[in-house]
Amino acid sequence: MATSSGTETSGTTGTSTAAEADRLLRAAVRHSAGRSAALCLCTTASAFVGLALPAALGRTLDLLLTRDSGPQATHWILLCTALTCVLVLLDAVDGLITGVTNARGTAWVRGRLLRHVLATGPRATSRFPPGDLVARLIGNAAHAGTAPAALATLLATVITPVGGLVALALIDPWLAVAFLAGLPVLALTLRAFVRRATDSVARYQAAQGEIAGRLVEALGGARTIAAAATTGREIARVLEPLPELRRQGLRMWQVQGRSNAQAAIIVPLLQIAVLAVGGLRVSQGHLSVGELLAASRYAVLATALGMAVGQINGLVRSRTAARRLAELLAEPATAYGTEQLPAGGTGRLELRGITAVRGGRTVLDDLDLTLPGGTSVALVGRSGTGKSVLAAIAGRLADPDRGTVALDGVPLSGLSHDELRGAVGYAFERPALLGGTIGGTIGFGIPEPGGAAVTEAARTACADSFIRLLPEGYATPCGDAFLSGGESQRLGLARAFAHPGRLLILDDATSSLDTVTEFRVTAALLSPTPDRSRLIVAHRASTAARADLVAWLDDGRIRAIAPHDHLWRLPEYRAVFHAATDPEPVTGPGPGRERDREGAAEEAGSW
């Protein structure tokens, strides 16, 4: 029963992915509707002109072979010349429109996928490795983006052989019969090609994505690999899918080569059969020499069905690529509401019944936590207890599997996107340097950040001193600034300080700072702010000691929430900070801090 259920689920997933892929391709076709229509008209006109040209050439030849043709032959020669010129012009326009359609279609597909990935947030990067995401957004999107042009030219691809066959029947029905005798063999060849090519292309693209994902991982850990002298082993790991890539690549070429070879045999045989019947009909006086010439050309056009192998191959690649893109689109984007936060809020954060499952493991289990408004709460716990997951859920970078999160009484899921992101600020262990310049990085995501506000935030984060030493100060491009881990963290902290929201969440954002800088930044961070709460993932006892409260995370739940020096009496709590090597905790600077912590603990009602 389990096997049957799994097969059914897999089949359902595959069906839904295929349906989503088809929807994506249809949307891409609608986006390129104008250009696709122009391309379709151009290629269709080219097909009809190409069908008219053999008849004109045959008629011209018959007139030239007639002694008293006179000016009539001249008119037909001019007509053949005009048809040839129009055919050349249409082919040139076809190439131009095809290039533009492919470029615009690819750009649209990439834009839609990128917007969806960003709207999905961390869920996308947790399910798909960054390298695989890049492979899908670049390579697969390029293949899917060519679908509108391929479909637009498909009509002409069908018109040409069908028109050639109809023309043969009009010239002489026996010519069409001779051609149709071998047509089923050609159709079976194309059907087998589509089936085999679809499977090999899908496996090839999957292997490409696997290699790309492993390569990005290796580049991210280049220093660790060099220090461990494991370069050879890492190269072998990255290239482990290479045999599968090679196998499927060879299989693709073998499938296409076999189909082309079969077509190369069948097509000339069909043409020879038509010419043989045509020659016999000429000898019997049923056909003229010009009609035989036209029939030979129409036989070539009718066998253009064999040339459709390349066209079908392109459509197969587009649909297979669209299926890989559909897997990204299957990840639901984060939904937002329309509610606004009440004016005068203090940043009171409430988490109720939070359950989060990651990788099949329950990381947070029916967790409850309240951050009183205007307080600072340090979140501590052993490694792997889910501190970062909780920090992500607290600001809705991720949603829990169960439970609710509310800020100043309003559920985060009910807030609009702008309201939520304007109210919650983040700082991370490894901040991304976005914004173009150093100043832009600090003001990134902040509506109309002023120069004075950016500078003040940098001073608070102890970043102003090293920023002014950069070649262009705050205007230095991020790519030209070679920063240490601690300097990058200070820029991330400066961005957090510049954020005007009522809740600030720091996920191990001070881990790379030296002791003196960490003390100064923490003092500024934890200074009394009645209109802003702070949730700090802390790994140092000194950071936890300066916070108003400590939330002790253990086994997926909050074991206790109280001032640090109260919890320090417990051996299990001290073990979280490796108490054997940690000095006595700091009670925190400034008068009245002890009293503030006691009041906050009383408000939390947890001690």
Q: How confident is the model at residue 1 (pLDDT cuts 50, 70, 90)?
A: very low
User: How much is the pLDDT for 510?
Assistant: 80
From CA 518, how far away is CA 477, in angstroms rounded? 26
Strands (E), 79-199: none
From CA 118, how far away is CA 124, in angstroms rounded? 8
Of 16-25, 110-119, 516-525, highest mean pLDDT = 110-119
Q: How confident is the model at residue 353 (pLDDT cuts 50, 70, 90)?
A: very high
Give yes or no for a contact between 52 and 76, defined as CB atoms under 8 angstroms apart: no
pLDDT digits (tens, 9 = 90+) for 364-419: 999 999 999 989 999 999 888 889 899 999 999 888 999 999 999 999 999 998 89
pLDDT digits (tens, 9 = 90+) for 218-236: 877 777 787 778 888 888 8
Mean pLDDT throughout 183-202? 72
Give per-residue burial for 332-371: e unless 16+ CB within 10 Å, then b.
eebebeeeebeeebbbbbbbbebebeeeeeebbeebebbb
Give yes or no for a contact between 498 and 443, defined as CB atoms under 8 angstroms apart: yes
**pLDDT exceeds cutoff 70 at 10:** no
91 Cβ contact partners less than 8 Å away, ≥ 6 residues apart = 46
**pLDDT exceeds cutoff 60 at 30:** yes
pLDDT digits (tens, 9 = 90+) for 304-327: 765 566 677 677 788 888 888 888
User: How much is the pLDDT for 383?
Assistant: 85
How do 376-380 and 549-554 pair as beta strands? Answer: parallel
Report all structural domains of the chain as residue ranges with CATH numbers, in order of start.
11-329 (1.20.1560.10)
Would you tell me how many other CB atoms lie within 10 Å of the CB of residue 607?
13
Q: How confident is the model at residue 498 (pLDDT cuts 50, 70, 90)?
A: confident
User: How much is the pLDDT for 67?
Assistant: 67
**pLDDT exceeds cutoff 70 at 361:** yes
From CA 364, how far away is CA 355, in angstroms rounded? 5
From CA 579, how far away is CA 556, in angstroms rounded? 22
User: How much is the pLDDT for 214?
Assistant: 83
**pLDDT exceeds cutoff 60 at 5:** no
**pLDDT exceeds cutoff 70 at 202:** yes
From CA 358, how far away is CA 378, in angstroms rounded? 23
User: How much is the pLDDT for 64?
Assistant: 83
404 Cβ contact partners less than 8 Å away, ≥ 6 residues apart = 351, 352, 353, 411, 413
User: What average pLDDT does the chain have?
Assistant: 82
Sheet of 557-562: strand order equals 424-428, 503-507, 533-537, 376-380, 549-554, 557-562
User: How much is the pLDDT for 595?
Assistant: 34
Residues in the chain: 607
User: How much is the pLDDT for 515?
Assistant: 81
Mean pLDDT throughout 184-205? 73
**pLDDT exceeds cutoff 60 at 507:** yes
